[in-house]
Amino acid sequence: MKYLSVLLLALALSACSSATSGISIESSNQNVVIGNSSLASRITIEKALISDANGLMKAGVPVTSMVNSDMKLQYRFYWYDAQGLEVDGSNSPWRQFVLHGKDSMTLQAVAKKSSATQYRIYIREADY
């Protein structure tokens, strides 16, 4: 049931707008949801790092470019409690970054509430 709800959430988000299509990774099981096969073939996502920052969950997701050219991308974290429900106020704005050719970087965020025990990150191509 949990996997079905994750799949439905991903489908709902991708159906809302083509601007949100991209790649997401869920912290609880490291499953990667691919909404843009072109982007998925150009980056890899390594195993996420989870730590504690003053009682709040901190996530770090290493991303590596598989191509020689620069990519303008955006990412956004969503935070969930132990029951898998989105933590109130967890939606953050899309953050922009440039992933240079064959380079790696770690995308990081800290939950705003201590009830967050899981997260999901979405990565998409920027249209700026």
**Where exactly are the structural domains of the chain?**
2-125
Kindly report the backbone phi and psi dihedral angles of residue 84, in degrees, each rounded to the nearest multiple of 5, phi listed first: 90, 10
AA identity, residue 121: I
AA identity, residue 21: S
Q: Report how far residue 68's alpha carbon sits from residue 107's, in angstroms, rounded to the nearest whole number.
A: 20
AA identity, residue 11: L
pTM listed for this prediction: 0.76
pLDDT per position as a tens digit, 8-62: 344 344 433 345 567 777 766 655 666 788 999 999 988 888 999 999 999 999 9
Q: Report how far residue 57's alpha carbon sits from residue 74's, in angstroms, rounded to the nearest whole number.
A: 21
pLDDT higher than 70, residue 106:
yes
Q: What is the pLDDT of residue 66?
A: 97
CATH architecture for residues 2-125: Sandwich (2.60)
For 9, the 3-state DSSP assignment is helix
